[in-house]
Amino acid sequence: MSRLHYDEMRASDGSVRPHYQGFADWLHRTPAEKIAQKREEAERAFHRVGITFAVYGEDAGTERLIPFDIVPRIIHAAEWRLLEQGLKQRVNALNLFLNDIYHEQSILKAGVMPADRVLGNSQYRREMQGMQVPGGIYAHIAGVDVVRVAEGEYFVLEDNLRVPSGVSYMLENRKMMMRLFPELFARQAIRPVEHYPDMLLENLRGVAPAGEDQPEVALLTPGAHNSAYFEHAFLAQQMGVELVEGQDLFVQDDAVFMRTTRGPKRVHVLYRRVDDDFLDPLAFRSDSMLGVPGLFAAYRAGKVTLANAIGTGVADDKSIYPFVPEMIRFYLTEEPILNNVATYQLHKKDDLSYCLDHLSELVVKEVHGAGGYGMLIGPAASSAECDAFRARILAQPEKYIAQPTLALSTCPTFTASGLAPRHIDLRPYVLSGKAVNLAPGGLTRVALREGSLVVNSSQGGGTKDTWVMAG
């Protein structure tokens, strides 16, 4: 592979970067058979532990493993400090933005961004207007996708502010690495992430309705057939809170209760992993079997906190994304620490014609798409694919945005033909409550196909443990 891409482990002259030296030494002195054996051990263990994700479509109802690669993604201390500051800054601004657009709308009045873009967005929830949420926090848990293109240079690809998933892989990958390679952890100062569930619980308790000294937290899941069910169960267990489904809850006098073997029990904070639309059949989609009738009324009455809040989707929408740097300047009067990717908005005439002329260089995404579906990666696409996409864009330009193809960094990864560079991204989890916090690390996803830039597990991506070095 060419050295056009920044490699996490090796500098362009081929030398090992200092923070990778410990791992590189280990790799060098460990026989290939031993490594192969460790990789098999990891696969077996993941199967037994049952860290799987359900698959939709063909083979429905089966469970698959997300491939795990044993080469860690390592971030040195100074760089993490930069990332941490940048992420906190960004999530802070996004929460201020959400609070603003559901109240004064000062950012719209100041003309920083077009009002119709926000208020006319399908993810904007009119029902939330004027409603006070504890601490003014909307996105209690954010999973911000960042990629590196050069030393100290990170770009944010997406701010996932609805029900971001994947944190269980961060925790299980670490557990697996510590089990397989205890000697690596003994020799190096790798910052722990295992306390994430405690941080999350504290964060959730901190946003309980006012006046609750001992708030009861529960995790609301769509159920065992959801693709992220493992994670829901895992987090509920790690936090020591009930894992509830809609059928386990009911609302009485605007308060939410669980059905228990000892009668009804009040719930104050719901960490919900159910989408807005399905939360309450009385308020949103009436055909939802996953929700709780009356939940929204209880929420409005301030008797239960939902995390994340309803209506956060407007802030992570791809059509709002280009304005995040402006939000940071507007609310915090700071310069953004992390970069935004230049974004062409195809409803604009100039942007559209530029995009159509440069389709083979750009990544085109659907505005409301997620999960790597419905996107075109220009440099990797055939001319027939480009033509097909061109037709789709022309039919509904407002449905798309385009971005330059970023040179995602690579990390050495085990492949069928040995260790080879593969592109990676990073999803750290930012918690907002009484304070803004994040565990040092995140989920590193890796595109396992050579040259591929798509890291989504639904598209053949794998994961790696993410090490943040102390110091």
Partner 1 sequence: MLCRTANELYWMARHIERAENTARLLDVTYRMALLPYETIEPGLAWAEPWAVPLITSGLATDFYESHQHLSAENVLRFMILDSANTSSIYCCLRAARESARAVRGAITSEMYEDLNSAWLDMRVYDYNRIQSSGVSEFLDWVKMRSHLFRGVTFGTMLRDEAYHFIRLGTHIERADNTARILDVKYHTLLPSAADVGGAVDYYQWSALLRSVSGFESYRKIYSDVITPRRVAELLILRADMPRSLLSCMNFIHETLRVLCDDSSREIERVAGELHAKLRYGRTDEIIKLGLHEYLLDFLDSISALGAEINTHFLVPG
**What is the per-residue binding string for partner 1 in 263-302, x denoting contact by CB under 8 A?**
x---------------------------------------
The backbone torsions φ and ψ at residue 82, rounded to the nearest 5 degrees and listed phi first, read -65, -45
E-only strand ranges, 268-350: 269-272, 305-307, 339-340, 344-345
Is residue 36 within 8 A of residue 431, CB to CB? The reply is no
> What's the closest the beta carbon of residue 166 comes to partner 1, in angstroms?
18
Alpha-carbon distances of 342 from 18, 67, 324, 339, rounded to whole Å: 32, 31, 12, 9
**With respect to partner 1, which residue has the nearer C-beta, 249 or 469?**
249
Q: Are 102 and 129 in contact (CB under 8 A)?
A: yes
CB of 312 to partner 1, least distance (A): 25
Residue 242 beta carbon to partner 1: minimum distance, rounded to whole angstroms: 6
Show contacts with partner 1 in window 225-264 (CB under 8 A): 229-230, 233-234, 236-237, 242-245, 247-248, 258-263
Contact yes or no for 356/417 (Cβ under 8 A) = no
Buried/exposed 349-358: b ≥16 CB within 10 Å, e otherwise: eebbeebbee
Question: Can you tell me the distance from the alpha carbon of 376 to that of 212, in angstroms, rounded to the nearest whole number?
Answer: 49
Shortest Cβ distance from residue 197 to partner 1 (Å)? 11
10 Å CB burial of residue 395 (0-12, 13-18, 19+) is exposed
Taking the complex as a whole, how short is the minimal distance between the CB of residue 258 and partner 1, in angstroms?
6
Minimum Å distance from CB 243 to partner 1?
A: 4
Nearer to partner 1, 248 or 277 (CB): 248
Residue 251 phi, psi dihedral angles, 5° rounding: -115, 130
Shorter beta-carbon distance to partner 1: residue 122 or 260 = 260
Counting Cβ atoms within 10 Å, is residue 432 exposed (0-12), middle (13-18) or buried (19+)?
buried
178: its two tokens = 């510590």
CB of 455 closer than 8 Å to CB of 423: yes
**x-marked contacts with partner 1 along 48-77 as a string, rule CB under 8 A:** xxx---------------------------
Query: Smallest distance from the beta carbon of 215 to partner 1, in angstroms?
Result: 18
Query: At 88, is the secondary structure helix, strand, or coil?
Result: helix
Q: Which is nearer to partner 1, 244 or 431 (CB)?
A: 244
Q: Do 386 and 402 contact (CB within 8 A), yes or no?
A: no
Q: Which is nearer to partner 1, 31 or 263 (CB)?
A: 263
Nearer to partner 1 by Cβ, of 85 and 237: the residue is 237
CA–CA separation, 2 and 423 (whole Å): 13
Binding positions for partner 1, 310-369, rule CB under 8 A: none
Provide the minimum distance between the beta carbon of 41 and partner 1 in the complex, in angstroms, as a whole number.
14
Taking CB under 8 A as the rule, does residue 224 contact partner 1? yes
Q: Which is nearer to partner 1, 257 or 330 (CB)?
A: 257
Nearer to partner 1, 64 or 259 (CB): 259
Within 13-52, the residues that bind partner 1 by CB under 8 A are 47-50
Q: Which CB, 240 or 379, lies closer to partner 1?
A: 240
In the complex, least distance from residue 216 CB atom to partner 1, rounded to whole angstroms: 12
Q: For 104, which DSSP code?
A: T
Give the shortest CB-290-to-partner 1 separation in angstroms. Answer: 14
CB 248 to partner 1: min, Å: 5
Beta carbon of residue 442, minimum distance to partner 1 (angstroms, whole number): 22
Output 7 or 248, the one with its CB closest to partner 1.
248
Question: Which CB atom, from 178 or from 233, has the smaller least distance to partner 1?
Answer: 233
Identify which of residues 133 and 249 has a Cβ nearer to partner 1 in the complex: 249
Query: Measured between alpha carbons, how far is residue 345 from residues 228, 355, 418 in Å?
Result: 32, 9, 41
Instruction: Give the interface size with partner 1 as a residue count (CB under 8 A).
Output: 23
Question: Is residue 327 within 8 Å of residue 93, measured between CB atoms?
Answer: yes
d(CA 66, CA 441): 19
Within 294-361, residue ranges assigned H as helices are 295-300, 324-332, 349-357
| DSSP string for 18-54 | GGGHHHHHHHHHS-HHHHHHHHHHHHHHHHHHT-EEE
Biggest CA–CA distance in the chain, Å, is 68
Binding site for partner 1 (CB under 8 A): 47-50, 224, 229-230, 233-234, 236-237, 242-245, 247-248, 258-263
